[in-house]
Amino acid sequence: MWSKTRPRRPAAFDEELLALAAAVYDTAVRLTRSAAMAEDLVQETFARAVAAAERFEPGTSMRAWLLSILMNLFRNHQRARARHPEVELDEEALPAVEEEPPLPFAAITPELLDGAVAGLPERLREAVVLRDLQGLSYLQISEVLRIPVGTVMSRLYRGRAALRKLLVPGVLEVAGKRFSGSGP
């Protein structure tokens, strides 16, 4: 514990924290879909991380720890806005993908990906961003989102299916092919 007599915080902690700033900002932008709100969340995330540095357990993932703080702040922000919920895709209306005809996913561009991720329903977007963009494990995601690992797997499955569906037209266009219209 760092108390009045505790030693100075290790410099390595600060360096690792700052090295993760871009990843935290990228996640915040994708969660909020607003650069201005993302900046506010990231500043608050780092302020809280510094204030609660003694709670970080060395040897564990600082990325997952920071993203947990970010997610808590984002949840609080969303609760404050609960009276005016965003209009989003109904995640139940997004079909699960059983059949997956081969598609040229090497043709996914950063712009296509940005648009498709932003179009995902919030819960599915969280799972996809944390796993496929930030590389967290299922267990880390379950801790960040405070949900069981089974729910992580379910959301990730549906999130990837929805992401694939959103990407297909653009990917086919980029690849110079015609969209068959038979679904993802």
Partner 1 sequence: MNTSCESVRQWLPAFVDGEALPLGRAQLESHLAECAECARRVAALGGFVDGVARAHRARPLPERLRRELERTVRGGGVHDVRRRLVPVLAAAAVLLLITTVALAALRPSAARAATLPEAAVLGHEGVLQGSTPLDVAESDPLALSGWFAARLPFRVHLPRLDNPQLHLRGGRVIQVGGSLAALVVYAIGEEQVSLAVVPRSQELGRPPATAAEVFRDIRFEFTHLRGLHVTTWDDGGLTYSLVSSQPPQGGASCTVCHGPGSGLRGVEGFHEPR
Least gap, CB of 57 to partner 1 (angstroms): 18
Least separation in angstroms between residue 7's CB and partner 1 is: 9
* Alpha-carbon gap, residue 33 to 7, rounded angstroms: 40
> How many C-beta atoms lie closer than 10 Å to residue 128's C-beta?
22
- Among residues 22, 52, 60, 95, the one that binds partner 1 under rule CB under 8 A: 22
Q: How far is the CB of 83 from partner 1 (least distance, A)?
A: 6
Two structure tokens written together for 14: 């600060």
Taking CB under 8 A as the criterion, which residues in 97-126 touch partner 1? 100, 102-103, 105-115, 118-119
**Largest CA-CA distance found in the chain, in angstroms, rounded:** 68
Helices (H), the chain: 11-19, 21-32, 35-51, 62-80, 110-118, 122-128, 138-145, 149-174
Least distance from C-beta 178 to partner 1, angstroms?
Answer: 20
Q: Which is nearer to partner 1, 34 or 60 (CB)?
A: 34
144, 64 Cβ separation under 8 angstroms: yes
Compare residues 2 and 179 and give the one whose CB is closer to partner 1: 2
137 binds partner 1 (CB under 8 A): yes
* Closest to partner 1 by CB, 22 or 95: 22
